[in-house]
Amino acid sequence: MASKVVDLVYWRNMRKTAVVFTGLVICLASLFQLSAITVLSYLCLGIMCVTFQLRLYYKLLELLGWNPGVHPFQSHLEHDGTLTSKETVMLVEETVLLIAFAITEIKRLLFIESVVDSIKFVVLLYMLTYVGVLTSGLTLVLTAVIAIFSIPLLYKKWRIRIRRIVRAIKAFVKKIKNMCLSLYASVKRTPAPEAASRPVPAAAPATKQTAKSK
């Protein structure tokens, strides 16, 4: 299953990926105007308008004796898309582990196990409030689908330039980091001028010393 998704994302089969990508974009764009039930109903009706006509056409050819009775969608009907018991158990286990991991992480962030991670989570939630005001969840899903199918293709086409840019950004970040570390180390090494700031005690008067000696 995962290998098929990777093949679709990386456009290894151009025709299949184009069909899936176009269908997803059209369905998601249709949800802006219609409900999910309406979009699903119209999608199934559109598919059946094509399959029904082809089925009647092949049936007519069979009645005329020009077709030996071959079903036009026999390969799709014979395709076994059911999951075996082992695959079902593995899929359920992965789903349960993913849900448990998500619940554990959310609980850890909400109840402040790590202050730094919780602060990052608060910042992320605060930014998501602005994102929710500007866009909707459907817009984000549509943008994510376009990005998933576009970024691997762009990376495959501009791989050398992207690697050069990434290396340059990493070198710049490393330079800034080293500069900050060296500045922090230099500030930490300079001792506080305690000895210079302390006042030098004045010498005792000579008259008192002579009086004591007498």
pLDDT single digits (tens) 164-185? 998 999 999 999 988 888 887 8
Of the listed ranges 82-86, 87-91, 120-124, the one predicted with least confidence: 82-86
What pLDDT is attached to residue 69? 75
What pLDDT is attached to residue 196? 46
Which of 129, 131, 148 minimizes the C-alpha distance to 139?
131
Q: What is the pTM of this model?
A: 0.59
Span 117-159, pLDDT tens digits: 899 999 999 998 888 888 888 888 888 899 988 888 888 888 8
CB atoms within 10 A of CB 142: 19
Highest mean pLDDT: which of 14-28, 69-83, 101-115? 101-115
Q: What is the mean pLDDT of the chain?
A: 82
Residue 41 has pLDDT above 60, yes or no: yes
What pLDDT is attached to residue 96? 94
| Integer angstrom CA distances of residue 49 from 37, 128, 207 | 18, 42, 122
What pLDDT is attached to residue 213? 45
List the chain domain ranges.
160-189
Q: First and final CA of the chain: distance in angstroms?
A: 107
What pLDDT is attached to residue 212? 46
Residue 13 has pLDDT above 80, yes or no: yes
DSSP 205: P
Helix axes 159-189, 137-157, angle to 10 degrees: 100
Contact 28, 138 (CB under 8 A): yes
Higher pLDDT, 80 or 118: 118
DSSP 23: H
Higher pLDDT, 86 or 67: 86
Could you give the CA distance from residue 155 to residue 152 in angstroms, rounded to a whole number? Answer: 5
Could you give the CA distance from residue 52 to residue 183 in angstroms, rounded to a whole number? Answer: 75
